């Protein structure tokens, strides 16, 4: 071993060597190499800076062909060590040197050097397991890799699809829709919800929180999480209001949704949710205003999204509730053109059919009852005819009388109006114009325009009413008897109001 390349503490002193001494040492080194003719410098000693000597096998890296880039660092380290470590340098020299004549002679005596020995060994080696160049297994490998890759890709695709599906299936919107479908507690539909029969028995009434479905609770939790991060986000606020409606907490829902509508923009979804909240609150409290507001919002939503089945469904239901029978029929028919879900479609058909049936019943009922109840004289005649009265007694007692007695507002047919007309007649009013059922207020405007126009021209009340009916019949919007047949005049029909109108001018 040597220490003459020591770059440790000793090297500090070397910095003070003179140029001459260094030059002399250098030339001695060069000359010494020549004179030694390959023999190593023999001043041995420890070389602690050289580090531990590599394993004998490691030196083979220097002899195994040109190093790969990954091996360069190791090669440099081995060379650096060999440059300072005589033992390892000698080991390297021994491994790399060509055989000397003595070695050649010695090797010649080995069994493996003999021709027979080599032949025997070659014979054994030739039969060792190996892969033929066109090994079918090897040829199959690319295909196997291909199949494995395809399988892996398919698995990844399935996982991705499942992940997307799971994500979509578990959005709060979906969870709310599922909660609605699981326990549909009102007639109106919720956006995105599947069909379910109404089960009013599961109403929560805003307090039975212990009965909330797991889906609703989960949706609630996630909505709350999002709202914590973004308290003013309209989307999550709308979902919170929707959850409130499902829990029949209508006041907070309306408060949120009204605020969102005021901030704009008014989307069909927002209008549908707000309409549902108003309608359900109206149904719970009996508020006409709430239900009228619901219809107003749904009409607006219908204008924004004319083909939306949810909007049409809800609009028809509310129209039906508001007594707008013909409008409801028309809306149900429109709805049936757009709905694709079989369950909802069947319910729409069922509701339309029931509505038409009810309408027909009302019409026939009205025509049958009209002759008994149309005028005070007819009613007095009915009262004097026990046999007839007995024949319709059940109908009168079950349907008409309670309403007449209570003065309750009729939803589809104003039987109470007969009472009023009768009263007015008794008070001496010569002619009374009234409707037999509640009509759409929009159609009343042209009707009244025509009626008063006729009176102004000097027509009698029945004549003016007939003329106004004709005007309405000519209007395509109000051609249906629902609009014009409801009107009737009661009285002598001899009032001349023309003078009154002219005097007013």
Partner 1 sequence: MNGIRTSVNDLAKSCAHSADAAEWEEFVCRCTPLASVVAMRVSRMWVSNPSPATVDDIVQEVFLKLCEQERRILRDFEPRGEDSFLGLLRMVSVSVANDYFRRLRSAKRGGNVVTTPLLEEEAQLPGDGAQPAARMQRSVLLAELDRKLRSAPEVVTERDRALFWLYYRQGFTAEEIGRLTAIGLTAKGVESALRRVTTWLRGEIERRKSEGPRESG
Residues in region 29-88 near partner 1 by CB under 8 A: 29-30, 32-33, 36, 38-44, 55-57, 59-67, 71, 75-76, 79-80, 82-84, 86-87
CA pair distance 337, 134, nearest whole angstrom: 67
- What does the buried/exposed string (b/e) look like for 281-311 if buried means 16 or more CB atoms within 10 Å of the residue's CB? bbbeeeeeebbebbbebbbbbbeebeebbbb
Q: Quick one: tokens of 462?
A: 């029945």
**Please, which residue, 112 or 390, has the CB nearer to partner 1?**
112
Q: Looking at 52, 70, 101, 110, which residue binds partner 1 (CB under 8 A)?
A: 110
Q: Looking at 51, 105, 113, 156, which residue binds partner 1 (CB under 8 A)?
A: 113
Closest CB 146 distance from partner 1, rounded Å: 22
**Please, which residue, 86 or 249, has the CB nearer to partner 1?**
86
**Please, which residue, 123 or 398, has the CB nearer to partner 1?**
123
**Please, which residue, 16 or 387, has the CB nearer to partner 1?**
16
CA pair distance 75, 62, nearest whole angstrom: 6
Q: Looking at 48, 51, 94, 154, which residue binds partner 1 (CB under 8 A)?
A: 94
Closest CB 100 distance from partner 1, rounded Å: 9
Q: Quick one: tokens of 414?
A: 């104003």
Closest CB 58 distance from partner 1, rounded Å: 9
Closest CB 143 distance from partner 1, rounded Å: 20
**Please, which residue, 142 or 476, has the CB nearer to partner 1?**
142
273 with 241: CB under 8 angstroms? yes
Chain-centre distance for alpha carbon 274: 19
**Please, which residue, 118 or 360, has the CB nearer to partner 1?**
118
Closest CB 168 distance from partner 1, rounded Å: 50
**Please, which residue, 25 or 445, has the CB nearer to partner 1?**
25
Q: What is the 3-state secondary structure (H, E, C) of 371-404?
A: HHHCCHHHHHHHHCCHHHHHHHHHHHHHHHHHHH
Query: Count of residues binding partner 1 (CB under 8 A)?
Result: 90
Binding segment toward partner 1, per CB under 8 A, in 22-30, 193-201, 304-312, 424-432: 22-30
**Please, which residue, 87 or 285, has the CB nearer to partner 1?**
87
Closest CB 159 distance from partner 1, rounded Å: 36
Q: Quick one: tokens of 52?
A: 């531990």
Under 8 Å CB-to-CB from 195, ≥6 apart: which residues?
181, 341, 342, 343, 344, 347
Closest CB 145 distance from partner 1, rounded Å: 18
Between the CA of residue 36 and those of 41, 42, 230, what are the distances in Å? 8, 10, 86
Q: Looking at 70, 97, 384, 426, which residue binds partner 1 (CB under 8 A)?
A: 97
CA pair distance 46, 430, nearest whole angstrom: 139
* Residue 105 lies near partner 1 (rule: CB under 8 A): no
* Residue 405 lies near partner 1 (rule: CB under 8 A): no
Tokens 């994500």 appear where? Answer: 167
Closest CB 20 distance from partner 1, rounded Å: 6
Task: Give rounded-to-5 percent helix, strand, coil for the chain.
Answer: 70, 0, 25
195 with 341: CB under 8 angstroms? yes
Q: What is the CA radius of gyration of the chain?
A: 51
Closest CB 122 distance from partner 1, rounded Å: 4
**Please, which residue, 99 or 306, has the CB nearer to partner 1?**
99
**Which of 271, 310, 313, 312 is closest to 294 using CA atoms?**
271
* Residue 14 lies near partner 1 (rule: CB under 8 A): yes
* Residue 92 lies near partner 1 (rule: CB under 8 A): yes
**Please, which residue, 56 or 307, has the CB nearer to partner 1?**
56
Closest CB 76 distance from partner 1, rounded Å: 5
Residues 299-358 touching partner 1, rule: CB under 8 A, are none
Expressed in angstroms, the distance from the first to the final Cα of the chain is 136
Q: Count other C-beta atoms under 10 Å from residue 40's C-beta.
A: 13
**Please, which residue, 13 or 377, has the CB nearer to partner 1?**
13
CA pair distance 238, 335, nearest whole angstrom: 25
Q: Quick one: tokens of 338?
A: 């757009």
Closest CB 148 distance from partner 1, rounded Å: 21
Chain-centre distance for alpha carbon 49: 70
CA pair distance 494, 268, nearest whole angstrom: 52
**Which of 437, 460, 457, 433 is closest to 447 using CA atoms?**
433
Q: Looking at 22, 221, 391, 448, which residue binds partner 1 (CB under 8 A)?
A: 22
Residues 115-174 touching partner 1, rule: CB under 8 A, are 115, 117-119, 121-123, 125-133
* Residue 259 lies near partner 1 (rule: CB under 8 A): no
Q: Quick one: tokens of 302?
A: 């219908």
**Please, which residue, 68 or 340, has the CB nearer to partner 1?**
68
**Please, which residue, 20 or 394, has the CB nearer to partner 1?**
20
Closest CB 140 distance from partner 1, rounded Å: 16
């Amino acid at each position: 071993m040597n220490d003459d390349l020591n770059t440790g503490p000793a090297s500090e002193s070397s910095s003070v060597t003179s140029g001459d001494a260094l030059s002399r040492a250098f030339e001695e080194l060069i000359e010494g190499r020549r004179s030694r003719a390959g023999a190593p410098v023999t001043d041995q000693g420890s070389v602690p800076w050289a580090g531990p000597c590599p394993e004998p096998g490691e030196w083979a890296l220097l002899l195994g062909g040109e190093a790969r880039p990954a091996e360069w660092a190791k090669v440099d380290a081995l060379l650096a060590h060999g440059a300072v470590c005589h033992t390892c340098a000698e080991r390297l020299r021994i491994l790399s040197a060509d055989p000397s004549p003595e070695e050649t002679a010695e090797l010649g005596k080995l069994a493996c050097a003999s021709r027979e020995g080599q032949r025997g060994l070659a014979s054994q080696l030739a039969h060792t397991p190996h892969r033929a160049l066109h090994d079918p297994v090897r040829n199959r490998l690319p295909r196997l890799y291909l199949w494995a890759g395809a399988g892996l890709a398919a698995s990844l695709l399935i996982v991705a699809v499942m992940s997307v599906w799971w994500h979509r299936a578990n959005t709060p919107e979906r969870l709310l829709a599922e909660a609605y479908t699981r326990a549909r507690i009102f007639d109106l539909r919720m956006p995105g919800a599947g069909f379910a029969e109404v089960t009013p028995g599961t109403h929560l009434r805003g307090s039975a929180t212990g009965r909330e479905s797991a889906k609703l609770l989960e949706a609630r939790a996630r909505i709350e999480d999002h709202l914590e991060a973004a308290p003013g986000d309209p989307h999550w606020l709308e979902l919170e209001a929707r959850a409130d409606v499902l829990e029949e907490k209508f006041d907070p829902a309306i408060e949120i949704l009204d605020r969102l509508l005021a901030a704009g923009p008014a989307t069909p979804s927002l209008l549908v949710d707000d309409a549902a909240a108003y309608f359900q609150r109206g149904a719970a409290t009996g508020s006409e205003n709430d239900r009228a507001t619901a219809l107003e919002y749904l009409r607006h939503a219908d204008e924004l999204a004319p083909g939306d089945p949810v909007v049409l469904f809800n609009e028809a239901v509310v129209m039906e509730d508001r007594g707008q029978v013909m409008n409801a029929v028309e809306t149900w028919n429109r709805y049936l053109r757009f709905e694709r879900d079989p369950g909802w479609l069947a319910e729409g058909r069922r509701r339309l059919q029931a509505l038409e049936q009810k309408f027909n019943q009302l019409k026939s009922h009205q025509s049958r009852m009209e002759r008994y109840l149309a005028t005070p004289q007819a009613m007095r005649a009915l009262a004097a005819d026990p046999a007839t009265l007995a024949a319709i007694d059940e109908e009168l007692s079950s349907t008409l009388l309670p309403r007449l007695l209570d003065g309750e507002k009729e939803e589809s047919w104003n039987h109470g109006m007969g009472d009023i007309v009768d009263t007015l007649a008794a008070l001496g009013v010569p002619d009374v114009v009234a409707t037999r059922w509640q009509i759409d207020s929009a159609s009343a405007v042209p009707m009244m325009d025509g009626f008063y126009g006729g009176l102004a021209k000097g027509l009698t009340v029945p004549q003016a009413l007939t003329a106004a009916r004709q005007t309405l019949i000519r209007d395509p919007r109000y051609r249906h008897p629902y609009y014009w047949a409801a009107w009737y005049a009661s009285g002598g029909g001899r009032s001349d109001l023309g003078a009154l109108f002219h005097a007013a001018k």
